[in-house]
Chains A and B, each alone.
Chain A
Amino acid sequence: MRVPFNWLKEFVEISDAPEALAHRLTMSGFEVEAIERIGDDAVFEVNVTPNRPDCLSVVGIAREVAALYGRSVNLPDLTIVSEAKALDFNIDVLDAELCNRYAGRIVRNVKIGPSPAWMRERLEKCGVRAINNVVDVTNYVLLEFGHPLHAFDLNLLKGGRIRVGTPRSVLQSDNPMRFYTLDGEERRIDPDMLLIWDAEVPVAVAGVMGGLNTEVKDLTTDVFIESAYFEPTSIRRTSRTLGLKTESSYRFERGTDIKIMKKALDRAALLIKDLAQGAMYGKLDIYPKRWHPYEVKVRYSRVNHVLGLALTHGRILESLQGLGLDITEGSREFFIVKTPPYRRDITMEEDVIEEVARMVGFDNISPELPRTAFAADDAVSTAGKIMPLKRKIRAAFLTSGYTETINYSFIGKADLDLLRLAADDERNVCVRVQNPLREEDAFMRTFMLPSLIRNLATNVAQGNRELRLFEQARIFLGRPGEALPEEREHLAALVYREKIKSLYRDETPDFYHVKGLLEALFADMRLSGVCWKRSEEPFLHPGQSADIFIGESKIGFAGVLSPLVVNTLDIKAQKPSVIVVELDLTSLMPHIGAGADYRAIARFPFVERDTALVVDASLDAAAILGHVRAFRSDVIEDTAIFDVYQGASLGEGKKSVAFSVRYRAIDRTLTDDEVDAVHAELVQHVSEKTGGHVRA
């Protein structure tokens, strides 16, 4: 809302400079976002909150200024010197619930022309384009009193009559109809939308915009000025449905002043009479639904209780002076506030308490930390478990060289198509946003990989040749038949490196880099029973990827992105290796082990034995190690695979897998004989299980 300082001064005495006044307004809830100097005037850009439509006008702001400075408001002179008796003209309000009051005046023999310079300047300062004297007056009064008016060309209103009603009540019709608004657009009118009609046809969309058929133009001689109170919800619904927001609808949907509308009408008629030399006729005023003030009971003690103050009764009452509230002292404990028609926002005790706080000034309420007992269940919160886990994972990835990303939760159909998901994959069941900013962002992501692939494309396009990225966020799995999707916490990471010349030879990342990090992380979480199986994900390299399980449930995947996917991206020329990981943290959470389980460390020397077994090349290392670890002995401290070799000397389809075992006892020094015996037994066990033999 733009408010010229000089205009404001017409209604209230202001001794402060514009800056000082702006500060007072800002600190009382009317934030002055900017002050624009125009000539000798200063135009305030005031941010009026939706609860205070009464201040969407110069008079409204003047009322606030008067309350702040303890002054009074002087409205313009509305004395009507001469008016002719009302013409034979009728107003019928058919839907009183939607139109509580409808008033109008006729002004005849007007000379349409440009408005005087002073009016055009004021309109322009407020950002309103001047059109002609009659239309300008309605806009001027709108800015001044905050009440929207509409001027019709009286001679285009057929049958000397105005009717206010919906198509349903006027035509008893349930069908939508067509109507041309002032802006020349054809509008589809629903049967529940409130319209203004003459004796035959609609002439305006009530409170939103007038009709093209009754527009005031240069040749207009007689006008009918409308000033009405329309029910806010109905105006808002109409405005939204039509996609048509006007100065008028903006005010009606927030709530207008059912009393000041009469003054606004008189003001407009007087101005038109002056500026367009017309003859005024008597007022028509239909008021089928009376307004009654709210009565709010306010306890003095509650005021202090909520604000943390110790104001006297007198101070509380004094603070509310000047706001136009009708205050009656009820008893020692409370007082009654009756609200004026322009303060429909005040309906309960807290609303009045807010007014006290505003007038006393928030600055005069001193800050004090609460004295409160700790609640026993403070520690148990919904984020209590996942937050520390996410922080731990973040630390691990950061120290491993991964940079953290945050992506929008949105993806598009193309992102899913790229990854070649099977038709029945649950990740195809997306939550769809009805009004996305762009179609590529219409879905909520069901997994995070698509977002990281977008990051890959962005970065490669910018010449970033080495990427290690990770992100932790929610994903959203659609649940047909349920209102809300299932939200799960995921982790995803991506490693990318172009095959470029490098100072050091061994830097090309591979599957094992990522697996190593995950294994370390799993060990840190004391996650037990993790199992890596060949991946069935359609977007991964079948030979260099794994699905990760705990028991029967899949908790993620890791591996090299399939060339089928890479080849569809802009990066195929670089022949890169792209490794991706995604983990479902929600499903692995329950498997996280308890804290440390301390065991004494042995003080006696250890002995190591290495053995290479020749086995079928198809046998997984994990299977061999599994058999090694399955061998029970209380003197085995650690086992590891340290070499895998395939060569002609071993024979077709064979490979050699070398493992080492570290032996140590907690209570004695082991002898060589003892270790040899156990190791021989272990080797025999593993050979039998794997069908292998010790490599010569």
Chain B
Amino acid sequence: MSEELKNTAIEELKTITSLPELAQLKARYLGKKGLITLQVKSLGTLSAEDRPPAGKRINELKDAIEAACSAREDELTRKDLAKRLASESIDITLPGRTAGIGREHPINTVLSEIIDIFVRMGFSVEEGPEVELDRYNFEALNIPKDHPARDMQDTFYVSDDVVLRTHTSPVQVRVMEQKKPPLRFIAPGKVYRCDADVSHTPMFHQVEGLMVDEGITFSNLKGVLETFVHQMFGPQVPVRFRPSFFPFTEPSAEVDIGCILCGGAGCRVCKGSGFLEVLGAGMVNPKVLGFCGIDTERYTGFAFGMGVERITMLKYRVDDIRLFFENDLRFLRQF
């Protein structure tokens, strides 16, 4: 009898498809007036001898049905959840919702890289005005009026005595007037020249550097700039110094690096030479130190400068400098 009841219950459980139906079934068997409960109550009518084995049998029956119900309940719950999750499915191939992450301007990326290299070498960072006195931009740097060296830079004039600075060198003079050696700083910033074509824009960025102390030599200049080039372009890149001319340094040098585009084999960008000019440098002309009231017998120093646009163009192979200032998102978003 009880075995039969158990089998019936299990068969019925199989046909059940929802949790409410399951609750009804449980009530029918295990509820206050359920079939199992009635059997438990009927135990009282049995003799004292028969009661224990019957009780045991009913308890087993009850446990078996309860276990079956509970298993079925788990199963139905899982199915319900699966169904709900399926109904909540979204198209994960649609684009995400975001304002995106903006892009740093490539010039500023490279500028920061340059600054950080020199800061790691112990250089501090100095700034100065972009609209500058002729005195600081030229005369203090040994470039008098009516000197052919002024042809090296096409100048924007604001008045006879005021220019848009053509290089960040006036910052060197301003700092040297204020502070005493030892000095070791770089001056990054915007500079202006009256020129516009694929390789010139009327405004661009420079980083210049200065180090003045006792016993600073040309050999030190080479050491510092080689270190910079190797940090910036990689330790395998060759560096070459060759004589040049700047009114504010003596001796002066141009610094070339092995062409990073062709690896030195010669290409259109390096005009077949295998080298690219990236820095100008030299020992600070004693006339410049003297102008700033620095004892030229005791102190020597070196200075250097580089164009950030040029380095950026080489790094990213940009072939028209004007793109940097058009600010077309299609360009800026590439970096």
Residues of A in contact with B (beta carbons under 8 Å apart): 26-29, 31, 33-34, 49-52, 232-233, 236-237, 240, 253-254, 305-309, 348-351, 353-354, 357-358, 362-363, 365-370, 372-375, 377-384, 386-387, 391, 394, 397-410, 431-437, 441, 444, 455, 458-459, 462, 464, 467-470, 473-474, 476, 483-485, 487, 503-504, 507
- Tell me the smallest distance from the CB of A40 to a CB of chain B, in Å: 21
Tell whether, in the assembled complex, residue A375 and residue B183 are in contact, meaning their CB atoms are under 8 Å apart.
Answer: yes
Given contacts A367-B223, A404-B332, A408-B201, 20 further A-B contacts (CB under 8 A): A236-B147, A305-B217, A306-B217, A365-B218, A366-B222, A370-B223, A372-B213, A386-B127, A405-B332, A406-B108, A406-B324, A408-B202, A409-B190, A410-B202, A410-B203, A459-B327, A474-B190, A483-B161, A503-B95, A507-B97
Q: Which 4 A-B pairs have the closest CB atoms?
A: A308-B219, A308-B217, A401-B99, A29-B243
The 8 A CB mask of B93-109 against A (1 = contact, 0 = none) is 01101111111110110
What residues of A have a CB within 8 angstroms of the CB of B328 in the complex? 458-459, 462, 464
- 19 sample A-B contacts, Cβ–Cβ < 8 Å, listed by A number: A27-B243, A31-B254, A50-B152, A240-B146, A306-B218, A354-B252, A357-B218, A363-B241, A365-B219, A382-B125, A398-B104, A404-B105, A406-B107, A406-B327, A407-B327, A409-B130, A433-B157, A467-B329, A503-B95
Contact B271 A357 (CB under 8 A): no
List the B side residues contacting A232 at CB < 8 Å: 148
Q: Which residues of B contact A399 (CB under 8 A)?
A: 101-102
Task: List the A residue with the shortest CB-CB distance to B103.
Answer: A403
* Closest B residue to A348 using CB positions: B286
A441 and B146 in contact (CB under 8 A), knowing A29-B243, A363-B241? no
A382 near B127 with CB under 8 A, answer yes
Number of A-B residue pairs with CB-CB distance less than 8 Å in the complex they form: 255
Query: CA–CA, A642 to B188, complex, Å?
Result: 46
Residue of B nearest to A245 (CB): B151
A370 touches B220 (CB 8 A): yes
Per-position contact with A for B190-218: 1 when CB-CB < 8 Å, else 0? 10101010000111000000010101111
Say yes or no: A367-B190 contact (C-beta < 8 A), given A350-B285, A503-B95.
no
* A381/B124 in contact, CB under 8 A: yes
B300 lies within 8 A of chain A by Cβ: yes
Interface presence of B318 (CB below 8 A): no
B219:A368 contact, CB within 8 angstroms:
yes
Chain B 34-65 against A: per-residue CB contact (8 Å), 1 yes, 0 no?
00000000000000000000000000000000
- Contact A462 B244, CB 8 Å, known A369-B224, A381-B185: no
| Distance in Å: Cβ of B181 to nearest Cβ of chain A | 8
Residue of A nearest to B242 (CB): A27
B94 and A455 form a contact (CB under 8 A): no
Closest to B144 in A: A233
Q: Decide if B179 is an interface residue (CB 8 Å cutoff).
A: yes
Which residues does chain A contribute within 8 Å of B122, judged by CB atoms? 374, 378
Smallest CB–CB gap between A472 and chain B, Å? 9
CA distance in complex: A399, B198 (Å): 32
B157 to chain A, nearest CB (A): 4
Given contacts A350-B286, A467-B329, contact A50 B158 (CB under 8 A): no
Asked if A369 and B327 make an inter-chain contact with CB atoms under 8 angstroms apart, the answer reads no
Task: State the CA gap A433–B130 with chains docked (Å).
Answer: 13
- B327 lies within 8 A of A357 (CB): no
Contact between chains at A383 and B130 (CB < 8 Å): no
Query: Is there contact, CB below 8 Å, between A357 and B245?
Result: no
A401-B98, A485-B131 as given contacts; A307 in contact with B327, CB under 8 Å = no
The verdict on B128 contacting chain A, using a C-beta distance below 8 Å, is yes
A484 and B133 contacting across the interface, CB-CB below 8 Å: yes
CB distance from B322 to the nearest CB of A (A): 10
B225 CB contacts on chain A under 8 angstroms = 367
Q: Are B213 and A370 in contact (CB under 8 A)?
A: yes
Give the distance in Å from the alpha carbon of A307 to the alpha carbon of B217 in the complex: 5
Contact between chains at B250 and A351 (CB < 8 Å): yes
Which B residues are in CB contact (< 8 Å) with A404? 102-105, 108, 332
Could you tell me if B184 and A49 are in contact, using CB atoms closer than 8 angstroms?
no
CA distance A309 to B251 in the complex (A): 14
Alpha-carbon distance A16/B179, docked complex (angstroms): 51
Shortest Cβ distance from A371 into B: residue: B215
Contacts of A254 in B (CB 8 A): 148
